Chains A and B, each alone.
Chain A
Amino acid sequence: MNAETIGADFPRTGGLSRVTGGQQYVADIKVADALQVKLVHLDCARARILSVDKSAAEAVPGVRFVMTADDLPQPVPRFGPHASDRPVLAAGRVNYHGEFVAAVAAETKEAAEEGARLVKVEYEELPAIFTVDAALAPDAFLVQDPAIRRAGDPLANTNKFAEHRFGWGDVEAAASAADLIVENRYAYPMVTHFAIEPHACVAAPDGDGVVVWSTNQHPFQLQKILAKALGLPLSKVRVIAPDLGGGFGGKQWPNIQPLLAFMALKLGRPVRLVLTLEEVFQQVRRTSAEVRIRTGVKSDGTLVFQDIESNFLVGAYADIADRVVSKGNYLAAGPYRVPAVRIIARGILSNTPPATAMRGFGVPETAWAREMNLDECALALGIDCLEIRLRNLARYQEEFVPGDTPADGRWEQTVRRAAELIDWGKPMPPHCGRGIAVAAKSGPTTGLSYATVRLLGDGSVIVFSGTSDMGQGARTVFAQIAAEEMGVAVDRVSVVMGDTSVVPYDQQTSASRSTVIMGTAVLNACRDIQGQLRSVAAHRYGVDEAAVTVDRGVVRLTGEELSLVEVAKAGLGKMGGEYVGNGIGRKDAVPDHPLQGTAAFFEFNCTAIEVQVDPGTGELTVLRHVTVGDTGKSLNPMQVRGQDDGAAIMGLGHAMMEHYIFDDAGRVRNLGAIDYRIPTSKDLPLELISEQVENGDGPGPYGAKGVSEGSILCVAPALGAAVRDAIGIAIRDLPLSPERVWRAMRDGK
C-alpha cells in the first residue's frame, strides 16, 4: 500500500474551491431566466384551509404566478420515501407548523416576498398533537386520515405509524433470574440538523423533461420520486446535486422539490427557491423519543435481560422516520451480550415538522436510555461503570444479535483506549465527574452503488460516482483509491459526482456507507481496468495472460515490473483512446430479516467525558471529551478526525443546548439562529481527543469501515453519566441545560 495515498492526510479534493469562495452551492448557481419563489405557510400547527385568495399577490408587479393545490393534478399528488403521504402542496389541511400552502413565483426575490405576504389564506385553526402522550390518548384525533395510510395498515386508525418488535430469548423468565432490575424512563429532545447551507432548489423544463438542481444527498432517489410524481420516465428527469453545505441526514429526502418541478413545467420557466433558516427548521428534524427501559443484571453486573419500549415522535408525514425507528431500535440493547431482549418500538405521528434521517439514525436516542440505565445498575451494585461495560461487551466475532452480523471489531480495545485517555479511575476534584458510554450503529443493511473510472490517454484519471460529498470527504477518498490502484498521484485524479445524467446509479449517501459500498465500486472499476490491462500487457509482451499480475499501479510479468500507466499508454495506438472500467459495490437484501438485511459493518464508539458543574448556576464545563472509534482503516485520517471531532461537538449540542420549544398550540417558538443554539468555537471542550482503532478488519477497501456517525452516538449518556458522577443525581431528560442541572441539584432528583 502506498502510504502516501492510503492512510495519508491528503488535502481535500475540492478543497481549493472551498477556501476561495469558488465552490458553487445550489444557491450560488445562476440559472438564466429563473423566477424566484417564496412559500406561503400559516402560523399554526394544524388548520383547515377555507380559501386562498391570490388576487392581491397576483397584482404585485413582477409576480408571475401563485401556485396552490388547485393548480396541481387532482387529487393532489403525494410522495414520500416510505409512504406516499406528503402532498406536494397542502391540500385542504395544514398538518404541521410550516407546511406550505402556496408558492409565489416572481421576477425578483422582493416581488415574490411581497406577493407571499399578500396571499390571503382563510383558515380555521385546529388543536394540534405534539407529544407522545397526546398522540396515544384514547380520545386523540388522527393526525393522518386513514385514507392516506398504506393499504391494509392495521394501525391506520391510530396515531401509530408502525410498531416493531425485536428480540430474542424469554424476558419474563430471565427477569426471575435477575438479582437486580432497574427501570426508568428517558427522553431525547427534538433537535434539527442546522446545516449552515439552507435547503435550495432550482427546477427547469429541459426539452420534454425536467432538470432539477437540489441540495440533496440521494440524487437518484429524488430522481425516482420526481419521475413518479410527474409521470415522466427516469431518462427525462435529470437531478444535479452539487456538493452540499452540510447534510447530516436532513437533505436526504424530498420536500420542496416536487412542488418546484410542477411549477417549472407549468410555467415553462426555471423556478428557484432558497428556504430561510426558519423554514428549514420547520421542514426537517431528528426523531425525538421517550424510552422506557427495564434492565436486569446479576449481582456481578452480567446482563440478564433488556426490556425496552420506545416511542419515537415522528412528524405529520412519515418521511424516512420509520426506518429510523426500526434501525435505531434494533440495536437498542447495545453492543453487549444479552441473553434475553424484548424491544417494542413505535413511530408516533404528530403535528410537528417531519422527522427525517439524522446523523446516528435513532441510535443516539436509544443509547441515551440504555447507557444511563446500565450505569444505574452498576451504581446500585457497587460496580465500576467501565467494568460493567467490559464485562458485557460483545467479543470479536460474537453474534450479539442472533442471526445478524457478529461484532466486527475488537471493541474492548476501543473501550480500554478511551478509558486510558480519560484517565478513568483517577480522583476528580469537587463538583467534577467522569462518565463513559458505548454504542454501535449498523452500517447499511443493503446497498447498491455503481462507479465508472476512466483512465485517460496521459495516465490521468476521472472517477464517476453518484455519492454526495457534504463535507465528509467522499470525493477525496475515491480519488485516493483510484490513485492507489492506478499508480498515479492523487492530484491527477478528478472526481465527477452529483449529476444523474452523467454518473451511474448510486442508491444513496447515508449510513456512513460510501467508503465501503461506493469505495468498493470504485475499487472494482479500477480492477476492471487492471483486468483490461492484463490482456494488453499479455498481448504486447507476448506472454500468457495468466502470467501477468496487476496490483496497485504495478504490472508484473516475467520477472519485470512496469508501471500501470506505462502499460496503458503502450496499449493505445495512433488513434489515442482510454480505458473505461465499471464496478459495483453491493450488499444484498435478506428478505425475512427485520431490517431487510444484515449490517455491512458496525460503527462502534466509546465516548468518555469529564465535566465540571458550577454548583451555583448548573452550568457545565466539559473539561475533557474523548471519542474513540473502530474504523478498520482510516483512508484519510485528517478527514476522519474532522468528522469525529464534528460529530462529537454536534453531540454536545444535543446534550447541552439544543431543543425545539413549542407553545401551547404546537407552534415552534424558537425557529432560527437566535433562539436555537448550537455549539460555537467558545463552546468546545477544554480538551477534545479523538482517536481511531484501526485493525484493518472492515469490509471496505483496504480494510475500511464507515465513519462519521460513530462519535455522536453516545455523547449524551457519557455527559449525563459525568454529570451524575459530579452531582449525585441522574437527569433523564435532555438537553442538560444549566437550568435543568440546577433544578436537579435543588430538588435532589
Chain B
Amino acid sequence: MNDRFPIDLKVNGQRYQVDVPVYRTLLDFLRDDLGLTGTKECCVVGECGACTVIVDGRTVNSCLMLAVEADGGEVLTVEGLAAGGRPGPLQRAFLEHGSAQCGFCIPGQLMSAHGLLLENPHPAAAEVHEALAGNLCRCAGYEQITEAVLAAAEEVGG
C-alpha cells in the first residue's frame, strides 16, 4: 500500500480522475489541487462550517473528510451554485438582503442553505437557524442571512 490513491469524482459537474495523497482532506483537495478557493479554511475541527460543501446531496464539513472518501461521489461547492455564470436565487437573495458582510463565512452559509432547501423547500425561520447552526458568522449577520434564505425559498418554492 502506498500513500497515494486514485479517485474518480465529479466536482461541480466536472469529472476528475486523479491520484491524491491519502492524508489530503477534501478541503485541501478542492482549494489547493483544484484551485477552487471559494470553500474556506478556518477552524479545521468541524466547528465553524466555513468549509461546508455538499457531497452526494448532503452538507458536510470538507475539513473532516479525506479526499479519498469522496471517490465515486459528486461534490458541489459554492462555485457550482451559479448556473452558467449567473448567481442563483440564494446568492441573489444574499445580495439583496445584505447578508454578506466580510463574506468569509458566506460560501459555507450558502452551501448549508442550499442543502436545507433541497430537503425542505419551505423552512420556517427556526429550521433555517437549525440548518445553519454549524456555520459561524462573527460579523453575526445571522438575521439577514436567515431573511435571505427565507426569501430565496419563497422564490424557488413558489
Contact = CB atoms under 8 A, between A and B. Distances in A.
Tell whether any CB of A sits under 8 Å from a CB of B in the complex: yes
A684 interface: yes
Contacts of B32: 109
Given A21-B37, A30-B35, A645-B144, A196 B87 contact: no
Contact of A680 (B44, B103, B133): B133
A74 interface: no
A408 B105 CA distance: 36
Contact-residue size bin, chain B (C-beta under 8 Å from the other chain): 35 or more
Interface string A699-739: 00000000000000000000000000000000000000000
Nearest to A11: B95
Contact of A243 (B40, B98, B103, B107): B103
Contacts of A177: none
B48 A246 contact: no
A276 B41 CA distance: 9
A639 interface: yes
A24 interface: yes
Contacts of A558: none
Contacts of A196: 40, 42, 48, 50, 102, 104-105, 136-138
Contacts of A473: 101
B133 A471 contact: no
Given A25-B104, A276-B44, A673-B45, A645 B143 contact: yes
B101 A646 contact: yes
Nearest to B145: A681
Contact of B79 (A11, A20, A645): A20
Interface string B118-158: 00000000001110111111111111111000000000000
A481 interface: no
B64 interface: no
Interface in A633-650: 638-639, 641-643, 645-650
B24 to A, nearest CB: 9
Interface string A225-265: 00000000000000000011111100000000000000000
Contacts of A244: 102
B91 A19 contact: yes
B96 interface: yes
B68 interface: no
Majority DSSP secondary structure for residues of B touching A: loop
A674 interface: yes
Nearest to B144: A642
A24 B37 contact: yes
Given A196-B40, A276-B44, A471 B139 contact: yes
Contacts of B101: 12, 471-473, 639, 642-643, 646
Given A15-B100, A18-B103, A196-B40, A246 B94 contact: no
A738 B32 CA distance: 42
Interface in A5-27: 9, 11-12, 14-25, 27
Contact of A673 (B47, B98, B143): B47
A678 B142 contact: no
B59 interface: no
A641 B39 CA distance: 27
Interface in A464-516: 470-473
B151 to A, nearest CB: 14
Given A642-B98, A681-B135, A682-B129, A649 B144 contact: no
B62 interface: no
B138 A246 contact: yes
A197 B129 contact: no
A9 B98 contact: yes
Interface string B20-58: 010100001001100111111111110110100000000
A715 B12 CA distance: 43
B104 A672 contact: no
Interface string B87-117: 1000100111110111111110010000000
A193 interface: yes
Q: Among the interface residues B21, B40, B103, which one has the most CB atoms of the partner chain A within 10 A? A: B103
Nearest to A200: B41
A170 B146 CA distance: 53
Nearest to B32: A109
B136 A673 contact: yes
Contacts of A642: 98, 101, 139, 141, 144
A11 B98 contact: yes
B77 A21 contact: yes
A390 interface: no
A19 B35 contact: no
A108 to B, nearest CB: 9
A245 B43 contact: no
Contact of A16 (B95, B102, B139, B145): B95
A245 B37 contact: no
Contacts of A18: 100, 103, 106
B120 to A, nearest CB: 15
A24 B28 CA distance: 16
A447 interface: no
Given A21-B38, A277-B42, A681 B98 contact: no
A680 B145 CA distance: 12
Chain A CB within 10 A, most for which of B41, B105, B132 = B41
Given A195-B102, A196-B48, A673-B45, A680 B37 contact: no
A681 B42 contact: no
B41 to A, nearest CB: 7
A246 B141 CA distance: 12
B94 A19 contact: yes
A645 B142 CA distance: 9
B64 to A, nearest CB: 12
A156 interface: no
A248 B94 CA distance: 22
Interface string A672-688: 11100011111010001
Given A19-B110, A22-B38, A682-B129, A641 B95 contact: no
B82 interface: yes
24 contacts: A9-B98, A16-B95, A18-B106, A19-B95, A21-B38, A21-B79, A196-B42, A196-B105, A197-B40, A198-B41, A277-B48, A638-B98, A638-B144, A639-B98, A642-B101, A642-B141, A650-B138, A672-B43, A673-B136, A680-B134, A680-B136, A680-B142, A681-B145, A684-B143
Given A19-B91, A277-B43, 18 more contacts: A12-B101, A15-B100, A21-B39, A28-B37, A196-B42, A196-B137, A243-B103, A245-B103, A246-B139, A277-B44, A646-B141, A672-B47, A673-B45, A678-B136, A680-B133, A681-B135, A682-B129, A688-B143
Interface of A: 9, 11-12, 14-25, 27-28, 30, 109-110, 193-198, 243-248, 274, 276-277, 470-473, 638-639, 641-643, 645-650, 672-674, 678-682, 684, 688
The 6 closest A-B pairs by CB, nearest first: A21-B38, A245-B104, A471-B102, A18-B103, A471-B101, A649-B140
